[in-house]
Amino acid sequence: MRIGVLTGGGDCPGLNAVIRAVVRKSDTRNSRVVGLRNGWKGLLDPSPMDLDSKMVSGILHVGGTIIGTSRTNPFKDASGPEKVLKNFKLLRLDTLIAIGGEDTLGAASKLYDMGLPVVGVPKTIDNDLAGTDFTFGFDTAVSIATDAIDRIHTTAESHNRVMVVEVMGRHAGWIATYSGIAGGADVILVPEIPIDLDEVCDLILRRHSRGKSFSIVVVAEGAQFAEKPGEKGTLILQEKQTDEFGHVRLGGISQVLAKAIEHRTKYETRFVVLGHIQRGGSPTAHDRVLATRFGVYATDMVHQGDYGKMAALQGNRIVAVPLAEATSKLKTVDPEIYNMAKEFFG
Ligand code: F6P
């Protein structure tokens, strides 16, 4: 069997661990693996690379992806899907493993409906893909953000400052919630709940009235100020231009928030944007294990012809869930976890 593999969307620690697992497992089945470079671009404008055990040796712990990634949307141009199907045949592929988040796997789901024998692997540091309890990459991003919050704690305390830490999370505040809990944040702000500035400042003032001289606020990049109580406001953007999937570039909420907090509370406030640091470098042991389990399972799925599905983690078991189901909605933060985190606010 000839198996194509691609990695799409934002990169994520653990991608190489999945690629390695797919190649090693395929070896045991006498199947060949072909790397399709730079996401869906690899099937629109192919420059394939044969992947063998030698090529994936030593990459388990390495961040990024050896086959490259991009935010190419095969449905952007009307001729795109036909091109993908045609090149798939020209490359003499029997099946495809697409490793990606909502956009990459959303395209995979539509292409499956058009006849592409594809299996998905759930990737994103944001952990917002439905159908799976966790995506690989999330644990690494949370560890990096938690380490940063720990470091910010000491400087916040030395200077008696409020520090606003901006983490990734376009639609969902999973990284903010988990790193906020782990790092002992005094306020956590997520895209799911509009920011109430009065409440944020009250929490900080209350904390300082208890004798604390510093506070840590963790905010997800996709969090928005409420324009009216209970309503969502406007996203803070770096650029209005959208990518091929229609996403704007977020970033800057921490700066706006820091200014507003300082203005209202009169406490000196600073902000820090963690940005792509959260996506770079070596995956945690947890993510290496999860990525390996996903890669092995997805390889079994393609050999069984179990197409149109994604390897997913449910409880501690890897199962197959339909791509259509996984990409039909986003997985936002569990209110039970967020409400628990709130008990430590202020
Ligand atoms: O992978 C998802 C994500 O991490 C989002 O949280 C973030 O908005 C986006 O990627 C930024 O990615 P890039 O700058 O690579 O387009």
Ligand 1: atom nearest CA of 12 is 1
Nearest CA to ligand 1 atom 8: 170
CA–CA separation, 152 and 216 (whole Å): 8
The values of phi and psi at residue 165, to 5°, are: -110, 120
Question: What's the pLDDT score for residue 228?
Answer: 66
Ligand 1 binding pocket mutation candidate from 138, 221, 249 (most atoms within 8 A of CB): 249
CA pair distance 325, 328, nearest whole angstrom: 5
What pLDDT is stored for residue 242 in this prediction? 86
Collapsing DSSP to helix, strand or coil, 336 comes out as: helix
Domains observed in the chain: 2-136+283-326 (3.40.50.450), 138-280 (3.40.50.460)
Is the separation of the CB atoms in 287 and 13 below 8 Å? yes
Pairing of strands 162-167, 215-220: parallel
C-alpha 40 to ligand 1 mean position (Å): 17
Q: Of 279, 330, 333, which is best to mutate to test ligand 1, by the most ligand atoms within 8 angstroms of its C-beta?
A: 279
Report how far ligand 1's centroid is from the alpha carbon of 306 (Å).
30
CB atoms within 10 A of CB 241: 8
Burial classification of residue 156, based on how many CB atoms lie within 10 Å of its CB (0-12 exposed, 13-18 middle, 19 or more buried): buried
* Closest protein CA for atom 10 of ligand 1: 10
| Sequence-ordered list of residues with C-beta below 8 angstroms from that of 267, at least 6 positions apart, any chain | 160, 161, 162, 204, 208, 215, 261
Q: Which residue has the tokens 């905010």?
A: 219
Specify the ligand 1 atom closest to the Cα of 168: 6
Helix, strand, or coil (residue 84):
helix
Coil vs helix vs strand at 145:
helix
Amino acid at 178: Y
DSSP track, 167-234: E--SS--HHHHHHHHHHT-SEEE-TTS-B-HHHHHHHHHHHHHTT---EEEEEETT--B-SSTT---P
Taking the centre of ligand 1 as the mean of its atom positions, its distance from the CA of residue 58, in whole angstroms, is 26
Question: 10 C-alpha vs ligand 1 centroid, how far in Å?
Answer: 6
Q: Is 10 in the pocket of ligand 1 (CB under 6 A)?
A: yes
Burial class (CB in 10 A: 0-12, 13-18, 19+), 198: exposed
Task: Quote the tokens at residue 337.
Answer: 């976890």
Instruction: List CB contacts of 293: < 8 A, sequence separation 6 or more.
Output: 21, 311, 313, 318
φ, ψ (nearest 5 deg) of residue 250: -85, 165
Structure tokens at 59: 């990459």
Q: State whether the beta carbon of 250 lies less than 6 angstroms from ligand 1.
A: yes
| Alpha carbon of 32 to ligand 1 centroid (Å) | 32
125 lines ligand 1 (CB under 6 A): yes
Residue whose CB lies within 8 A of the most ligand 1 atoms, among 168, 190, 254, for a mutation test: 168
Q: Active-site positions?
A: 126
In ligand 1, the atom with minimum distance to the C-alpha of 279 is: 4
Which of 138, 153, 219, 141 minimizes the C-alpha distance to 183? 153
Atom of ligand 1 nearest to the CA of 169: 6
pLDDT for residue 230: 60
One digit per residue, the tens of pLDDT, for the chain of length 346 reads: 999 999 999 999 999 999 999 999 999 999 999 999 999 999 999 999 999 999 999 999 999 999 999 999 999 999 999 999 999 999 999 999 999 999 999 999 999 999 999 999 999 999 999 999 999 999 999 999 999 999 999 999 999 999 999 999 999 999 999 999 999 999 999 999 999 999 999 999 999 999 999 999 999 999 999 876 566 677 777 777 889 998 988 888 999 999 999 999 999 999 999 999 999 999 999 999 999 999 999 999 999 999 999 999 999 999 999 999 999 999 999 999 999 999 999 9
Ligand 1 center to 124 CA (angstroms): 9
Q: How far apart are CA 261 and CA 23, in angstroms?
A: 51
C-beta of 56 in contact with ligand 1 (< 6 A): no
On whether the CB atoms of residues 163 and 270 are closer than 8 A, the answer is: yes
